[in-house]
Structure 1
Amino acid sequence: MSTVLRFQPALGDWITHNLDAGAPSAGLVDAMVGQGMSARAAQAIVDAFVAARQQGTAPPLDQVALPDDEPARPIVPRARLAPGHRIAAADRVVTVQARGHDPVWAALGPVLDADECRALIDMARPRLRPSTLVDPASGRDVVSRQRSSWGMFFRPGENALVARLDRRLSALMNLPLENGEGLQLLHYPAGAGSEPHHDYLAPTNAANRASVARSGQRVSTLVTYLNDVPAGGQTVFPQLGLAFSPVQGHACYFEYGDGRGGVDPRCLHASTPVEEGEKWVVTKWMRERRFVSAGEAADG
């Protein structure tokens, strides 16, 4: 028995484009799941396109047969964070205060010392701008009501402190230095927070697709808190029942990419509004391979 599953032709165009570009089928399935489609449906649609290519036939236009008894394909976590209670991270040993394995997450600290936290805030303060989110349709950075913070980016290795932290965080996250995006610093004043979102790049616009083609998908995130927040400002994961309190120098770490383009939507997270004081954080994102910015690609 099977059920007819209908989909928009635009989805078929996106699948064809990515298969033509050499994207793995598993990554396409996981990206579709990340956008809210069931794993069974996503797998059936992608399988139909792959089969058509292998058989030299026309791909489906707007429907496929969905087997009624086909089981969902689980995401198998692949931990990158080193085992043990203490992790050597270049020039510092970091304590693992708590961790989980499916998906991989950890509470770490201290990752930065107080002087490093204050120095980052001082360097960032004159460069802060209203934070933006990527518009799903256009791929452009736009100011959004979903995030009421202020932010800026440091260039990778732009000064001695940033270079030292880039090395430390890449060692802690257990991926090559070149895979890291530039550090992002965010400032949340009283009342500010962010709504639930994913850190991986959904293939909903040309800018995201181009970024993934250059550098691979994001696979892990490290959020380090630069100050103590008296109340509010927690990093929460609604699907996992986790909440990380902002304590100076300590960090929230989580993995969501399998290294083959697949992503885990359970790592949906948000920042609760700051109830008292303010909140400063610095975020490190890691890619599957060497990070190449749009500017570098244009210059090259």
Structure 2
Amino acid sequence: MKRDSRAGYCASSPELEHWLTRHIAQGFDAESLVLSMLRSGYDAAFARHAVSAAIGHPPAVASAAAPAPVAKAAATPTVTGGNAFRHKDREMPILFRLDSPRILLLQNLLDDAECDAVVALARDRLQRSPVVNPDTGDENLIDARTSMGAMFQVGEHALLQRIEARIAAVTGWPVEHGEGFQVLNYKPGGEYQPHFDFFNPKRPGEARQLRVGGQRVATMVIYLNSPASGGATAFPRIGLEVAPVKGNAVLFSYGLPDGALDERTLHAGLPVEAGEKWIATKWLREHPYRSRG
């Protein structure tokens, strides 16, 4: 398969033609097919041409920072002018998009009332946030992460169900592939130093995590308030900082077309300088996720 060094994969193959034929027969529309090809690393113009030839009419779709296509139909967004997602009555403008690494910033994923309600749900559950020990798989407290957190099961509350359905619509990734929400609170000086969200299968503790849903494939960070100063989500290897603005969400995925993990997604929660920061994090897995009982 050929690849344009400035873009993505841009040559057909019997495997691609079979994939298109099978998914068209299963009822996938043109927009969904192009979106799946973009997530797998295909060049945008080539993807539109290939789908147009296979299905008989040209699709119009914007690329998104999301995992590779799934083998089952999932809710797909309506793309408004290529610059926004729409789910039910909510329009979510795309503020910026990077293709390499795949990062997408959405506006209005949650409205102010929803943000406040999620914070209210979490307040009574807050505990010091742990991290997974890479050698044992246990959850430990470390100085590099100074937030307080509250964990929720998938679908635990009607509000969370509504938000999870919206995330599934935006990403095309089924709700059952998501871990439960983790809501975090950072006080002044609170931070999370640079880290990866995916698991290293060569570390025994992290390998244990792969048995309950496979590898993490994407992260969505939802900002539940706007701190007075500081608290950005930083990607130091690409020189990007995302300001925490209430209702916005940054989505990034770490799978490369060759199956490797994109280490440019190293990221950090920068120290809060004034006020406090509230976020909700949703991690997506390659397989349906079940928590360890």
Under a length normalisation based on structure 1, what TM-score does the superposition of the two structures give? 0.69
Residue in 2 that maps onto 1:145: 143
Aligned: 1:127 with 2:113: no
Q: Structure 1 residues 77, 235: CA separation in 2 closer, same or farther (over 3 Å shift)?
A: farther
Q: Whole-Å Cα distance in 2 between the matches of residues 141 and 266 of structure 1?
A: 25
Contact 2:135 2:206 in 1 (8 A): no
Q: Which amino acid aligns with 1:151?
A: G
Q: Which runs of 5+ in 1 are unaligned?
A: 1-75, 296-300
Residue in 2 that maps onto 1:215: 213
Q: Whole-Å Cα distance in 2 between the matches of residues 197 and 88 of structure 1?
A: 32
Q: Structure 1 residues 80, 240: CA separation in 2 closer, same or farther (over 3 Å shift)?
A: closer
Superposed, 1:199-278 pairs within 5 Å as 199-258=197-256, 262-278=260-276
Q: Whole-Å Cα distance in 2 between the matches of residues 115 and 237 of structure 1?
A: 29
Q: Whole-Å Cα distance in 1 between the matches of residues 256 and 181 of structure 2?
A: 22
Aligned: 1:172 with 2:170: yes
Contact 1:236 1:242 in 2 (8 A): yes
Shift of 1:195: 0.5
Residue in 1 that maps onto 2:161: 163
Q: Whole-Å Cα distance in 2 between the matches of residues 273 and 93 of structure 1?
A: 31
Give the CA RMSD over aligned residues: 1.9
Contact 1:111 1:249 in 2 (8 A): yes
Shift of 1:207: 4.3
Q: Structure 1 residues 80, 276: CA separation in 2 closer, same or farther (over 3 Å shift)?
A: closer
Q: What secondary structure does 1:182 align onto?
A: coil
Q: Structure 1 residues 281, 259: CA separation in 2 closer, same or farther (over 3 Å shift)?
A: farther
Q: What secondary structure does 1:119 align onto?
A: helix
Q: Which amino acid aligns with 1:120?
A: V
Q: Which amino acid aligns with 1:214?
A: V
Q: Whole-Å Cα distance in 2 between the matches of residues 91 and 165 of structure 1?
A: 13
Superposed, 1:1-300 pairs within 5 Å as 77=41, 81=66, 84-90=82-88, 92-258=90-256, 262-295=260-293
Q: Which has the higher helix share?
A: 1
Q: Whole-Å Cα distance in 2 between the matches of residues 200 and 149 of structure 1?
A: 20
Once the two structures are overlaid, the 10-residue window that deviates more, 261-270 or 240-249, is 261-270
Contact 2:232 2:241 in 1 (8 A): yes
Contact 2:133 2:206 in 1 (8 A): no
Q: Deviations over 1:144-185 (max 9, x none)?
A: 101110001111001110111111112112211111110110
Q: Whole-Å Cα distance in 1 between the matches of residues 202 and 188 of structure 2?
A: 32
Q: Deviations over 1:27-61 (max 9, x none)?
A: xxxxxxxxxxxxxxxxxxxxxxxxxxxxxxxxxxx
Q: Whole-Å Cα distance in 2 between the matches of residues 208 and 156 of structure 1?
A: 22
Q: Whole-Å Cα distance in 2 between the matches of residues 93 and 100 of structure 1?
A: 20
Q: What secondary structure does 1:229 align onto?
A: coil
Under a length normalisation based on structure 2, what TM-score does the superposition of the two structures give? 0.71
Shift of 1:212: 1.4
Q: Whole-Å Cα distance in 2 between the matches of residues 152 and 276 of structure 1?
A: 22
Contact 1:211 1:293 in 2 (8 A): no
Q: Rg larger in 1 or in 2?
A: 1
Shift of 1:109: 0.6
Q: What secondary structure does 1:127 align onto?
A: coil
Q: Structure 1 residues 109, 247: CA separation in 2 closer, same or farther (over 3 Å shift)?
A: same
Q: Whole-Å Cα distance in 1 between the matches of residues 139 and 147 of structure 2?
A: 14
Q: What secondary structure does 1:216 align onto?
A: coil
Q: Which amino acid aligns with 1:134?
A: V
Q: Which amino acid aligns with 1:225?
A: Y
Shift of 1:256: 0.4
Q: Whole-Å Cα distance in 1 between the matches of residues 253 and 224 of structure 2?
A: 21
Q: Whole-Å Cα distance in 2 between the matches of residues 185 and 260 of structure 1?
A: 33
Shift of 1:92: 2.3
Q: Structure 1 residues 170, 285: CA separation in 2 closer, same or farther (over 3 Å shift)?
A: same
Q: Deviations over 1:72-94 (max 9, x none)?
A: xxxx8575547721112355221
Alignment length, in residue pairs?
A: 220
Contact 2:65 2:103 in 1 (8 A): no
Shift of 1:214: 3.4
